[in-house]
Structure 1
């Protein structure tokens, strides 16, 4: 399976469990690995044959902007669900980072890997 990477995508979201976290949006970083068959675009060199990673990034940023989740776990799952809804990918690994939350840590993050379940 081939992969497309989107790394260090900065998004804004209202996220957190504490009252002070609910006053303003926070900076989050998203790393995404999209698993898909890229053989056709590799040979055709036609943008219409591949995943539009700009549209994926836009969809993820929109989910973040519109969300009011308490947990980054819930937001990460919502992002994955949106990607599966809009794009023909077989598997996704998504890491969602909240870099500005702990004074003594560079980052706090969750990472999920999900596969499309055709039912």
Structure 2
């Protein structure tokens, strides 16, 4: 299986457990690793034979903007679900969601999930 990376994708989402987090969207950073078969695209040089990175980014941005989860875990789960639903060639997703600057003594807080296509 081959791999596509999208790194440090900035998205905005209303997310957080505490009341002070629920008043305005928070900036998040996404690192996405997609497991796909890139062989068809190597032969055809046609975007329809691979995963359109721009569409993946738009999908993740849309999920983030429309969601109002409390937990990063719930948001990441929804994002992975949408990727599997919208992109049939994706076989594996690893997604790291970072929430920089949320803790006073930490530069970043992040979760990472990896799922195989059901």
Offset at residue 100 of structure 1 (A): 2.0
Please say if residues 93 and 114 of structure 1, whose CA atoms lie closer than 8 Å, have aligned partners that are also in contact: yes
Q: How does 1:42-53 map to 2 (within 5 A)?
A: 42-53=42-53
Cα separation, 1, equivalents of 2:91 and 2:101: 32
In structure 2, the residue matched to 1:93 is 94
Using the TM superposition, give the Cα deviation of residue 44 of structure 1 relative to its aligned residue in structure 2, in angstroms: 1.3
Give the TM-score taking structure 1 as reference length: 0.96
Partner residue, 1:34: 34
Q: Please give the TM-score of this superposition, normalised by the length of structure 2.
A: 0.97
When the two chains are superposed, the root-mean-square deviation of aligned CA atoms in Å is 0.6
| Corresponding position of 2:106 | 105
> Where does 1:68-79 land on structure 2 (aligned, <5 Å)?
68-79=68-79
1:38-97 Cα deviation digits (max 9, x unpaired): 001012111121110100000000000000000000000000000000002111000000
| Aligned residue number for residue 67 of structure 1 | 67
SS of the residue aligned with 2:115?
strand
Q: CA deviation at 1:103?
A: 1.7
Shift of 1:33: 0.4
Secondary structure, aligned partner of 1:114: strand
CA distance in 2, matches of 1:48, 1:64: 25
Secondary structure, aligned partner of 1:10: strand
Distance 1:18 1:102 in 2: 12
Structure 2 residues without counterparts, runs of 5 or longer = none
